[in-house]
């Protein structure tokens, strides 16, 4: 339930969390766009999707931020007083769920895209992950806006079913496709999956606060803070790890590109061939591009 009143400390806490998320998402998106040339073309689609995810999140947090400022107002000098819900205005929880409905499936597309798996494998994974992710969000919303514990529990359980299925696909089926990935990439993918679980578990915890005996304004403020930190981890931090995976795979695919990017190129070696001659490594020594791989359709 949205509280009728917030103390100044509670108001400032939510205000600052929302501001933090906007900054994190916006500038992560900007960084990813500027960093596109730092990876090979076949991995840029994953970075573009990551930037889009962060951009969508930044937009919706702007909307959440505006909704919050309009919903809670005070007449106290300098804002040093109790904030009450403005007449005829309510905080809109729907913005957050619209954001998740768009971004959560795309987060999974990022992961599959950056691995550059065979098209048939990509297609099979996405056909399982995207519908499950959308269903998870859709089933969670009725419980989020419910005023009764029974309804909240019911929709929470229903939303957990596709969540568990996503974890199964990520930790069982995706693992079968990692054998041909470089060792460092396999390690990072393991961390990405742990990050997904850790950040996504924040949502059901925040969702369940009213059921844990924490109610009123305190529960609502904790929920907003939890959702905000989880969104930073699940989108901005996740995107930076995706970028790291894309760089490692680019280096493994093209030794000359790796030498140039890592600053090993000297003033006299002006072409990839010269770099290859100098280092004794040929371009494409690593995980070669195959005819059955490519960007996600």
- DSSP-assigned beta bridge partners for residue 72: 85
Q: What pLDDT is stored for residue 296 in this prediction?
A: 52
Query: Tokens for 93?
Result: 């929880």
Half-sphere exposure (CA, 13 Å, Cβ side) for 58?
Answer: 16
Could you give the percent of the chain with pLDDT greater than 90? 51
List CB contacts of 205: < 8 A, sequence separation 6 or more: 226
Q: How far apart are CA 221 and CA 137, in angstroms?
A: 21
Residue 278 has pLDDT above 90, yes or no: no
Q: How confident is the model at residue 267 (pLDDT cuts 50, 70, 90)?
A: very low
Tens of pLDDT, residue by residue over 221-264, are: 998 999 999 999 999 999 999 999 999 999 998 888 888 888 75
Cβ partners under 8 Å of residue 109, min gap 6: 49, 126, 129, 130, 296
Number of Cα atoms under 13 Å in the Cβ half of residue 262:
13
Q: What is the pLDDT of residue 151?
A: 85
Residue 154 confidence (pLDDT) above 70: yes
Residue 177: pLDDT band by 50, 70, 90 thresholds? confident
Considering only CA atoms, which of 207, 200, 231 is closest in space to residue 21?
231
What ranges do the domains of the chain cover? 5-258
Q: What is the pTM of this model?
A: 0.84
E strand spans, the chain: 5-6, 72-73, 83-85
Task: Select the more confidently predicted residue: 205 or 42.
Answer: 42
CB atoms within 10 A of CB 246: 29
Grouping H, G, I as helix, E, B as strand and the rest as coil, residue 90 is coil
83: which strand partners?
6
Q: What is the mean pLDDT of residues 188-208?
A: 86
The DSSP line for 94-120 is HHHHHHHHHHHHHHHHHHHHHHT-BHH
Say whether pLDDT at 286 is over 70.
no
Q: pLDDT tens for residues 37-75?
A: 999 999 999 999 999 999 999 999 999 999 999 999 999
pLDDT for the residue 224: 92
Mean pLDDT of the chain: 85
What is the mean predicted confidence (pLDDT) over 182-190? 88
Q: What is the pLDDT of residue 74?
A: 92
Top mean-pLDDT range of 42-46, 172-176, 197-201: 42-46
Q: Give yes or no for residue 295 having a pLDDT over 60.
A: no
Give 72-127 pLDDT, tens digit per residue: 999 988 888 899 999 888 898 889 999 999 999 999 999 999 988 888 888 999 99
CATH superfamily, domain at 5-258:
Rhodopsin 7-helix transmembrane proteins (1.20.1070.10)
What does the pLDDT read at residue 273? Answer: 52
């Amino acid at each position: 339930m949205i509280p009728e009143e917030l103390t100044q400390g509670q108001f400032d806490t939510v205000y600052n969390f929302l501001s933090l998320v906007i900054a994190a998402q916006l500038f992560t998106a900007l960084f990813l766009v500027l960093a596109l040339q730092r990876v090979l073309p076949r991995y840029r689609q994953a970075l573009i999707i990551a930037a889009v995810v962060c951009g969508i999140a930044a937009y919706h947090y702007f909307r959440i931020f505006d909704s919050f400022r309009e919903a809670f107002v005070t007449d106290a000098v300098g804002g040093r007083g109790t904030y009450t819900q403005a007449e005829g205005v309510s905080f809109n929880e729907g913005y957050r769920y619209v954001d998740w409905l768009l971004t959560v499936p795309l987060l999974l597309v990022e992961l599959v895209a950056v691995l550059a798996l065979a098209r048939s494998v990509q297609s099979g994974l996405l056909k399982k992950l995207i519908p499950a992710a959308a269903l998870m969000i859709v089933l969670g919303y009725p419980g989020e806006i419910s005023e009764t514990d029974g309804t909240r529990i019911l929709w929470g359980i229903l939303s957990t079913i596709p969540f568990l299925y996503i974890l199964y696909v990520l930790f069982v089926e995706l693992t079968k496709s990692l054998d041909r990935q470089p060792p460092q990439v396999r390690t990072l993918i393991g961390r990405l999956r742990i990050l997904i679980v850790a950040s996504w578990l924040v949502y059901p915890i925040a969702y369940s606060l009213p059921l844990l005996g924490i109610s009123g304004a305190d529960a609502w403020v904790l929920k907003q803070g939890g959702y905000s930190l989880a969104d930073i981890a699940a989108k901005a931090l996740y995107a930076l790890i995706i970028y790291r995976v894309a760089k490692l795979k680019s280096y493994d695919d093209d030794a000359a590109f790796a030498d140039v990017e890592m600053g090993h190129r000297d003033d006299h070696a002006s072409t990839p061939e010269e770099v290859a001659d100098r280092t004794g490594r040929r371009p494409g020594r690593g995980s070669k591009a195959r005819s059955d791989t490519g960007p996600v359709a």
